[in-house]
A and B are shown apart, each in its own frame.
Chain A
């Protein structure tokens, strides 16, 4: 059993979607309960990773390998390191909240909604486990299908445009990655194993082409400026659950991809073009922050703030190259990379929570325009503190998880170049500006809209979801040590690899 834990984690939700679908439209209650059961079981199974995984070494563990296509040397091989474990637990945790969050909200074909969510969960876990590049690609692409359906059926008025844009944009990025992977397969002499690809000798030109193929695939997923335009559309039109999963987990897959592919396979090209990624990250942090400031739509505001926060992830990953190779400061590199990872997990909680909050308001008012609100605290006294807490976390208040990762990345970039740190630190001002201003306009003040006056406060189910997110945000903010420890050795291994040149 324990040596098939990863397979169990992937396939339990996928197979669990079948009874949910069979329960059918006629018995929505049954469908909901089955999906909750499956989600909870998957979460429980993912917790079993913690004792099974030895965080001290940081190697890829719990490996499984089956020959999938023997004649091409493609294997169904899975393994996890500390970073994957953290992301998998984040996924399974968020998934429960998404399913509880959609309980009464989704009335149109709830069984299909729940089933799509479960399939999506399994595929995302698959992405975090795969150690064979083709298997990774299969999960990476397959996960677009349920998301496409989720946005398209249950989304807002412009859902069709948004979901087509989402799918085609992402597919556009990854197909070039596929060509790159096939080229690498050709180079390794017939192996899709990521580890073999990391060992193969490549000239700088080859690395540069591959680096850009990977960059295209992962930068669209993260998303980085200038290929971020699908995200605001997708987020605004997606149903609440879709937005939560998209922001909390799917975006992380881009950052994860950089770690798994770009760094080990094209280290020299990554070093060569680290400045490009760093500049793009800083543009995301500063410029996209300003764009967030002027948004009229709450969801769009949070979507843009997601792009800005994900800028820290890419910044933390690529600043490590400057630190290791130019400043010869591996400790700072480790700090930056560690910060990027913490930021990924933390952003998963915060963005998920923010979108849930907006979903709560939207379900009552059917508008996301900030100007339609005002004075919400007067009628929703239980909801308001949650909203404020998540907003504070989003602007990076110390004591919340939002602070930890960003602080580590800024600290590390200071060792590389104070200017980078300066621009990165802008986020603390801009982030506070756009989030707190939104809080001011939505929560505080007098009630101007008569619909706001009729608002009902959150019910028990919503309190549960919000509390769970709040717990994540606070625990990670006050006591990040366990998470850091879980990922530390794995991050150290990645940083060590950065120094090794392949040319």
Chain B
């Protein structure tokens, strides 16, 4: 029987579900002129959720509902940053949604539901919770992508996302069923113990492969990346920013729970299936780095460019995970957080520079930005150099940590591959800077930051944080390390 204690452990999630329902009702009864209230209320809802996550955080990991739900340091970090990034995204999204008459209330409610999905996913203690969280997240995301239903591109993206997403979910579920068949358990810890104890691993290996397909799809790692460019480009940018930032935290959480907690890692000598999934992830990492960086070079659409850049960044995240030890997990989590912050700023820039009837989507639209709004050009410069991994920006230190994790795991070759692709990646980020700083603006396409003050302020803070965190990333790293210690 679930006790009151179980509910208390789940308090942030429970609160968000209730709040989202209230917001939905409120939106239905508000007059169109008053809909702005929903916007501010939902930001408050997220911030209160973030407070509840940190405030109720137990000193040692606890589980609820017979181990199905875990509340530990890992889930705390991932949940907190997901909620904060969602709040930032809401600020960016408002003027965009307003000008395009995209339904307000649905956007916020669906986004909050998706966030709850993320929270379940990263706190999963059993295969059922993983699947539950994943479905809550992806179903909400499909609807969000299709939110701009009059746009052909948007509908196309939603269909693609849905079909491929469903396929990936099916693969994942199939893999889970094999693992269940081999271990007779859905609980990740029990599965772990069973795997370490058994000699007969063929069925488990099959299950592992299918689960990795699901994880690869969620991360957007090559060769399961096909949906990324079309969905990024086709979605309303306000949704793209969500898929491109907060969802990456979820994908990392899912990979960690399934692979490390479930299939075994190298800690303590009991390896489980760690050597197998290490090699699989290494292959995914190399493919993602190669495909992401090489294809990004030829993109002319900024959203597509960022889409391929995401693929390459997931490659780096995997380079850290390949380490399969606490150090690698903390490096990867650090990378996920740094990437999510950076990519939120990158898409936020597109949102802030767009205006009604003009999506600032093409790289050429940024031409001469430095002459029109030097401040935003500078912010975009920070974002691009952070993505490229040039110190002293935040993105560099994430790369440093994952490369270090690979070398510590004895995979020097993987670190060198990562370094080589960093050089190739540098080119297309520099091209964006080049367009903003060295080219002259085209007449009639005078890109300017729109006048929504909150969005501009938050964007400034978000991008400057990339510079500031480049100097003060020690606490975040210590926090990530603590989450995986012991």
List the interface of chain A (C-beta within 8 A of B). Answer: 68-72, 112, 134, 137-138, 141-142, 144-145, 148-149, 152-153, 159-160, 163-164, 167-168, 171-172, 175-176, 178-179, 182-183, 185-186
Interface string of B408-430 (1 = CB under 8 A from A): 10001001100110110011001
CB distance from B384 to the nearest CB of A (A): 10
Is B403 located at the chain interface by the 8 A CB criterion? Answer: yes
User: Complex: how many Å from CA A71 to CA B434?
Assistant: 37
Evaluate contact between A175 and B430: CB separation under 8 angstroms.
Answer: no
Partner of B474, one of A71, A144, A182, A183: A71
Partner of B478, one of A70, A145, A160, A176: A70
Q: Which residues of A contact B408 (CB under 8 A)?
A: 186
Known: A112-B374, A175-B423, A178-B403. A138 touches B437 (CB 8 A): no
Q: Which residues of A contact B404 (CB under 8 A)?
A: 182, 185-186
Is B438 located at the chain interface by the 8 A CB criterion? Answer: yes
User: Complex: how many Å from CA A149 to CA B385?
Assistant: 12
With CB as the reference atom, state the residue of chain B lying closest to A74: B474
Is B390 located at the chain interface by the 8 A CB criterion? Answer: yes
Known: A168-B430, A185-B404. A179 touches B437 (CB 8 A): no
Interface string of B74-96 (1 = CB under 8 A from A): 00000000000000000000000
A-B contact count (CB 8 A): 83
Evaluate contact between B437 and A153: CB separation under 8 angstroms.
Answer: yes
With CB as the reference atom, state the residue of chain B lying closest to A123: B392
User: Complex: how many Å from CA A137 to CA B399?
Assistant: 14
Evaluate contact between B390 and A145: CB separation under 8 angstroms.
Answer: yes
Is B469 located at the chain interface by the 8 A CB criterion? Answer: no
With CB as the reference atom, state the residue of chain B lying closest to A183: B407
CB distance from B152 to the nearest CB of A (A): 36
Can you list 8 A-B contacts (CB < 8 A)?
A: A141-B396, A145-B385, A153-B438, A167-B426, A168-B427, A171-B422, A171-B426, A182-B403
User: Complex: how many Å from CA A134 to CA B390?
Assistant: 13
Interface residues in B415-459 (C-beta closer than 8 Å to A): 415-416, 419-420, 422-423, 426-427, 430-431, 433-434, 437-438
With CB as the reference atom, state the residue of chain A lying closest to B480: A71
Q: Which residues of B contact A179 (CB under 8 A)?
A: 403, 407, 412, 415-416, 419
Q: Which residues of B contact A149 (CB under 8 A)?
A: 437
User: Complex: how many Å from CA A405 to CA B241?
Assistant: 58
User: Complex: how many Å from CA A171 to CA B423?
Assistant: 7
With CB as the reference atom, state the residue of chain A lying closest to B406: A182
Partner of B390, one of A72, A144, A159: A144
List the interface of chain B (C-beta within 8 A of A). Answer: 370, 374, 381, 385, 390-392, 396, 400, 403-404, 407-408, 412, 415-416, 419-420, 422-423, 426-427, 430-431, 433-434, 437-438, 473-474, 477-478, 481
With CB as the reference atom, state the residue of chain B lying closest to A151: B438
Q: With contacts A72-B477, A164-B434 known, what are 16 further pairs, Cβ within 8 A?
A: A69-B473, A71-B478, A138-B391, A141-B391, A145-B385, A148-B430, A149-B437, A163-B438, A176-B416, A176-B419, A179-B412, A179-B416, A182-B403, A183-B412, A186-B407, A186-B408
Of B400, B412, B415, B433, the most chain A CB neighbours within 10 A belong to B400
Evaluate contact between B390 and A182: CB separation under 8 angstroms.
Answer: no
Known: A68-B474, A149-B437. A142 touches B416 (CB 8 A): no
With CB as the reference atom, state the residue of chain A lying closest to B399: A178
User: Complex: how many Å from CA A72 to CA B390?
Assistant: 19
CB distance from B397 to the nearest CB of A (A): 8
CB distance from A282 to the nearest CB of B (A): 30
User: Complex: how many Å from CA A149 to CA B377?
Assistant: 12
Evaluate contact between A160 and B438: CB separation under 8 angstroms.
Answer: yes
CB distance from A28 to the nearest CB of B (A): 14
Evaluate contact between B474 and A142: CB separation under 8 angstroms.
Answer: no
User: Complex: how many Å from CA A167 to CA B481?
Assistant: 34
Evaluate contact between B477 and A69: CB separation under 8 angstroms.
Answer: yes
Evaluate contact between A142 and B391: CB separation under 8 angstroms.
Answer: yes
CB distance from A140 to the nearest CB of B (A): 8
Q: Which residues of B contact A68 (CB under 8 A)?
A: 474
The 3 closest A-B pairs by CB, nearest first: A138-B391, A152-B438, A175-B419
CB distance from A176 to the nearest CB of B (A): 6
User: Complex: how many Å from CA A112 to CA B375?
Assistant: 11
User: Complex: how many Å from CA A171 to CA B431?
Assistant: 15
CB distance from B97 to the nearest CB of A (A): 34
User: Complex: how many Å from CA A171 to CA B426?
Assistant: 9
With CB as the reference atom, state the residue of chain B lying closest to A134: B400
Partner of A175, one of B381, B422, B437, B477: B422
User: Complex: how many Å from CA A183 to CA B403?
Assistant: 10
Evaluate contact between A171 and B407: CB separation under 8 angstroms.
Answer: no
CB distance from B351 to the nearest CB of A (A): 25
Q: Which residues of A contact B416 (CB under 8 A)?
A: 176, 179
Known: A142-B391, A179-B419, A182-B400. A71 touches B438 (CB 8 A): no
User: Complex: how many Å from CA A185 to CA B431?
Assistant: 33
User: Complex: how many Å from CA A153 to CA B370?
Assistant: 10
Q: Which residues of A contact B481 (CB under 8 A)?
A: 71
CB distance from A262 to the nearest CB of B (A): 19
Evaluate contact between B407 and A172: CB separation under 8 angstroms.
Answer: no
User: Complex: how many Å from CA A142 to CA B400?
Assistant: 15
With CB as the reference atom, state the residue of chain A lying closest to B419: A175
CB distance from A68 to the nearest CB of B (A): 7
Evaluate contact between A172 and B423: CB separation under 8 angstroms.
Answer: yes
Q: Which residues of A contact B438 (CB under 8 A)?
A: 152-153, 159-160, 163
With CB as the reference atom, state the residue of chain A lying closest to B397: A69
Known: A142-B391, A172-B423, A182-B415. A70 touches B437 (CB 8 A): no
Q: Which residues of B contact A134 (CB under 8 A)?
A: 400
CB distance from B292 to the nearest CB of A (A): 17
Evaluate contact between B400 and A178: CB separation under 8 angstroms.
Answer: yes
CB distance from A244 to the nearest CB of B (A): 21
Partner of B427, one of A71, A148, A164, A183: A164
User: Complex: how many Å from CA A182 to CA B370?
Assistant: 36
User: Complex: how many Å from CA A488 to CA B474?
Assistant: 39
Known: A178-B400, A182-B400. A141 touches B390 (CB 8 A): yes
User: Complex: how many Å from CA A137 to CA B470?
Assistant: 13
Q: Which residues of B contact A145 (CB under 8 A)?
A: 381, 385, 390
User: Complex: how many Å from CA A307 to CA B191?
Assistant: 63
Of B404, B408, B420, B422, the most chain A CB neighbours within 10 A belong to B404
User: Complex: how many Å from CA A168 to CA B431?
Assistant: 11
CB distance from A162 to the nearest CB of B (A): 11
Evaluate contact between B474 and A69: CB separation under 8 angstroms.
Answer: yes
Evaluate contact between B407 and A182: CB separation under 8 angstroms.
Answer: yes
Partner of A138, one of B392, B420, B427, B434: B392
Q: Which residues of B contact A183 (CB under 8 A)?
A: 407, 412
User: Complex: how many Å from CA A176 to CA B404?
Assistant: 13
